[in-house]
């Protein structure tokens, strides 16, 4: 099982990797720069190089996540800044040896033209990826459906990748809370979801899973994460999560916790609990 959590870069990129190892993790996620700004970061390249070497030495997987304000459907006066910011994120992720950069799917921008958002997303992606030749990928994350967000179906995610001029530079990130909140997955339709993903070729391009419980019921379109084993708050049964992420087609995909780290359980403790409770299932699937 490859599992970790989101960690801070307050001690640099290498410091983030070291924190992940201290948490007994085999993977981690980080913001490559200020999570509340699209400003371009002049990053410490030596630190990033050391992070990459450290991860190789410790067999540690990493993935970056774009700042909160990043959107693939930005307003006109933010489009060039968004493109520059995404390229900056990719450059940092690549220097750190990361799989890619997670970015949320876009939102509806027109009440009269349902295709306008998709056209803009393709324009932004093509502008970014035509300038990008590194190894790190853009990882499109499914949305919870909050405030008109698109990307709540596997069909949308796969189609944008297919229509992009550079599909080989795009992968996917599945967020279990988002899937539950949007109604894509309700905890009881796992076999159906797995079959759909196989028919669309989605799982072949899945590079990371955000492993999160949900503080609201399925179909609520509310994006609030809960801890995996907190049955008093989380609406997803831990066994349902285990069934989904333990499916054989998902074997070897890094699991990243974005759960609360201050609600009675730390990420280190949660990682250890998951290993103890789930690891045998993952070993069986890996062997298959």
Determine what percent of the chain is predicted with pLDDT higher than 70. 97
Residue 196, domain extent: 3-287
List Cα–Cα distances, 67 to 91, 101, 103, 199, 272, in angstroms. Answer: 14, 10, 9, 32, 28
Cα gap 254→124, rounded to integer Å:
27
Residue 69 near residue 36 (C-beta atoms within 8 A): yes
Is the pLDDT at 288 greater than 50? The verdict is no
pLDDT at 253 exceeding the cut of 50: yes
Is the whole model's pTM more than 0.85, yes or no? Answer: yes
pLDDT at 279: 79
Average confidence score pLDDT of the chain: 95
Judged by average pLDDT, the poorest of 9-13, 77-81, 191-195, 279-283 is 279-283
Give every CB contact of residue 138 below 8 A, 6+ residues apart in sequence.
86, 90, 100, 101, 103, 125, 128, 129, 169, 170, 171
What does the pLDDT look like over 28-53, one tens digit per residue? 999 999 999 999 999 999 999 999 99
pLDDT digits (tens, 9 = 90+) for 98-157: 999 999 999 999 999 999 999 999 999 999 999 999 999 999 999 999 988 899 999 999
Does position 286 have pLDDT exceeding 50, yes or no? no
Which residues are paired to 100 by β-bridges?
137
CATH of the domain at 112: 3.20.20.150
How many domains does the chain divide into? 1
- Statement: residue 282 has pLDDT above 80: no
């Amino acid at each position: 099982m490859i599992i970790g959590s989101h960690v801070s870069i307050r001690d640099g990129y290498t410091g983030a990797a070291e924190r992940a190892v201290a948490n007994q993790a085999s993977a981690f996620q980080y913001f490559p720069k200020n999570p509340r700004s699209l400003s371009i970061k002049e990053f410490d390249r030596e630190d990033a190089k050391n992070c990459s070497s450290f991860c190789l030495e410790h067999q540690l997987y990493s993935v970056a996540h774009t700042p909160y304000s990043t959107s693939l459907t930005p307003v006109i006066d933010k489009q060039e800044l968004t493109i520059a910011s995404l390229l900056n994120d990719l450059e940092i992720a690549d220097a750190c040896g990361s799989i890619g950069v997670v970015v949320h799917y876009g939102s509806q921008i027109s009440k009269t033209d349902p295709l306008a958002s998709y056209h803009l997303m393709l324009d932004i992606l093509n502008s970014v990826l035509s300038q990008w030749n590194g190894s790190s990928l853009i990882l499109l994350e499914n949305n919870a459906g909050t405030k008109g967000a698109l990307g709540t179906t596997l069909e949308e995610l796969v189609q944008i990748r297919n229509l992009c001029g550079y599909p080989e530079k795009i992968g996917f990130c599945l967020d279990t809370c988002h899937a539950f909140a949007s109604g894509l997955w309700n905890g009881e339709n796992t076999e159906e979801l797995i079959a759909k993903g196989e028919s669309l070729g989605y799982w072949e391009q899945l590079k990371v899973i955000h492993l999160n419980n949900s503080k609201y019921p399925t179909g609520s379109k509310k994006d609030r994460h809960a801890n995996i084993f907190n049955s008093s708050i989380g609406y997803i049964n831990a066994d349902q999560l285990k069934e989904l992420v333990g499916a054989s087609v998902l074997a070897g995909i890094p699991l990243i916790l974005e759960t609360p780290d201050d609600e009675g359980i730390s990420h280190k403790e949660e990682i250890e609990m998951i290993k103890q409770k789930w690891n045998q299932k993952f070993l069986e699937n890996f062997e298959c």
